[in-house]
Amino acid sequence: MIINAWGKIIDQLDTGDGIVICDIDLEELRSIRQSFPSLKHKVLNND
């Protein structure tokens, strides 16, 4: 099963075990990553 960042199912197998492959829209991924404010709050801990 392939699920996007918002929880939408992109593709899945109908039944059984196997492999699912899909294309990734890198521009959409970049946009989604920029919209997550928590990623901007990273703190490096150098203890």
Q: What is the mean pLDDT of the chain?
A: 84
HEC assignment per residue over the chain:
CEECCCCCEEECCCCCCCCCCCCCCHHHHHHHHHHCHHHHHCCCCCC
Lookup: tokens for 32: 């989604």
Q: What is the pLDDT of residue 24?
A: 87
Q: What's residue 46's pLDDT?
A: 67
24 or 44, which is more confident? 24
Bridge partner residues of 4 (DSSP)? none
pLDDT of residue 47: 62
Q: What is the arithmetic mean of pLDDT over 1-8?
A: 87
- Determine contact, residues 22/2, Cβ cutoff 8 Å: yes
State yes or no: pLDDT of 5 exceeds 90: no
Task: Answer yes or no: are the C-beta atoms of 32 and 25 closer than 8 Å.
Answer: no
